[in-house]
């Protein structure tokens, strides 16, 4: 076979990634040349953009969504002896930060399709030690915020919404973050908008915002004589201006990013057909509840296949298609088991953990790429069907 006759290798499709234009890259160089590279004017601008996005509520930027969860727990006074109720289906961040502040995680199950926290189980899990609820929002169907906050008000609990996956999603026509108690966002490179690494905390008033400023910078307060004091062991979570410069450009482009993601997801729903069938994410019930689609995760019909999830992912990889796992069951990881987690405890979260695969979805993906993913998945599942 001659070089000209060699088959063309298909381009590798990563399952997630950022979309950075040349203007943003040039803007970073300008910040570097300015000499103001730690928290400065661009961080302030980034926070103002996010506040406008969140209906005017105060927002403070941090180095990651993980830092935002930790500071949120501290802001709510959560510590040793307290319990925090959260879903067994989420990323490790929530579990880690609950334990880090000295509290005990209390897990509940989730809905199989929406993956959102089961509020009936939340209410049943409340004890006198419960201090807060941390639900994780998933693409396609947000946690029922009306029911969530009615429950929290009735039981006197704080709510920290983990909105890392849903920047740009709306509840009853309003952006996530514009209502509620405490809301956290992520600006990791795999999210809807990025600052390379970064997070944000939406709070209720300026008093809480000032407290966040203290907690994100060593716990330092300034005294009248121009000396400093520390009364609480804060962290070092202030966002650099370089990151904020990228974040500002990304928020400006967010409507464009969201439109692109929604178009690609529409294509997934139109083209993703397998036999046996997979469980797909939910579709929004109305235009007022438009979703931002940070990821597109399916559940494989493993009971009807001769391969396991690794086999499916390896077969996709052999076709130059990247996939992810979103997410493992928190109560079954080593740390979760220390707090009573065991097999069979939360069947929906456990089934998701066994069967979930995240397919490629990012703004540089083309419709033809989605078709290729769908065709590859269908072929692999058809071949592996029992």
Residues with catalytic function: 191
Nearest to 36 by CA among 183, 240, 232, 226: 240
Neighbours of 164 (CB within 10 A): 27
DSSP secondary-structure letter at 295?
-
The token duo for 74 is: 């501290």
Q: Do β-strands 296-299 and 356-359 pair in parallel, antiparallel, or remain unpaired?
A: antiparallel
181 touches 157 (CB < 8 A): no
Distances (CA, A) of 301 to 78, 90, 223, 254, 383: 40, 21, 62, 34, 13
DSSP secondary-structure letter at 138?
B
Nearest to 329 by CA among 308, 313, 343: 343
Residues in the chain: 386
Nearest to 365 by CA among 281, 292, 265: 265
The token duo for 146 is: 């009306």
d(CA 37, CA 239): 10
Q: What are the phi and psi torsion angles at 197 (to 5°)?
A: -130, 145
């Amino acid at each position: 076979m001659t070089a000209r006759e060699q088959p063309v290798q298909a381009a590798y499709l990563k399952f997630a990634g950022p979309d950075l234009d040349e203007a943003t890259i040039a803007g970073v160089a300008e910040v570097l040349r300015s000499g103001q590279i730690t928290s400065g004017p661009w961080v302030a601008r980034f926070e103002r953009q996010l506040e406008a996005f969140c209906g005017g509520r105060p927002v403070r930027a941090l180095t990651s969504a993980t830092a935002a969860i930790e500071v949120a727990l501290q802001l709510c006074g959560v510590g040793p002896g307290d319990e925090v109720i959260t879903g067994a289906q989420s990323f490790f961040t929530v579990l880690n930060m609950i334990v880090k502040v000295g509290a005990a995680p209390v897990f509940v199950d989730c809905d199989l399709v929406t993956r959102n926290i089961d509020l009936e189980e939340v209410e049943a899990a409340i004890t006198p030690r419960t201090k807060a609820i941390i639900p994780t929002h998933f693409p396609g169907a947000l946690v029922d915020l009306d029911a969530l906050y009615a429950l929290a008000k009735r039981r006197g609990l704080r709510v920290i919404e983990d909105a890392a996956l849903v920047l740009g999603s709306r509840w009853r026509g309003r952006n996530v973050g514009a209502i509620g108690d405490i809301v956290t966002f992520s600006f990791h490179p795999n999210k809807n908008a990025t600052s390379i690494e970064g997070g944000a905390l939406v709070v209720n008033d300026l008093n809480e915002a000032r407290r966040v400023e203290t907690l994100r910078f060593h716990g330092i307060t300034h005294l009248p004589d121009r000396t400093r004091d520390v009364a609480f062991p804060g962290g070092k979570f202030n966002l650099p201006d370089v990151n904020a410069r990228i974040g500002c450009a990304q928020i400006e482009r967010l409507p464009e990013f969201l439109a692109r993601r929604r178009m690609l997801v529409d294509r997934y729903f139109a083209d993703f057909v397998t036999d046996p069938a997979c469980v797909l994410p939910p579709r929004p019930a109305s235009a007022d509840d438009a979703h931002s689609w940070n990821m597109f995760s399916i559940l494989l019909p493993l009971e009807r296949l001769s391969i396991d999830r690794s086999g499916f992912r390896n077969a996709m990889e052999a076709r130059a298609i990247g996939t992810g796992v979103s997410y493992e069951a928190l109560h079954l990881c080593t740390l979760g088991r220390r707090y009573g987690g065991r097999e069979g405890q939360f069947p929906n979260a456990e089934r998701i953990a066994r069967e979930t695969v995240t397919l490629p979805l990012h703004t540089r993906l083309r419709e033809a790429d989605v078709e290729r993913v769908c065709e590859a998945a269908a072929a692999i599942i058809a071949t592996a069907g029992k």
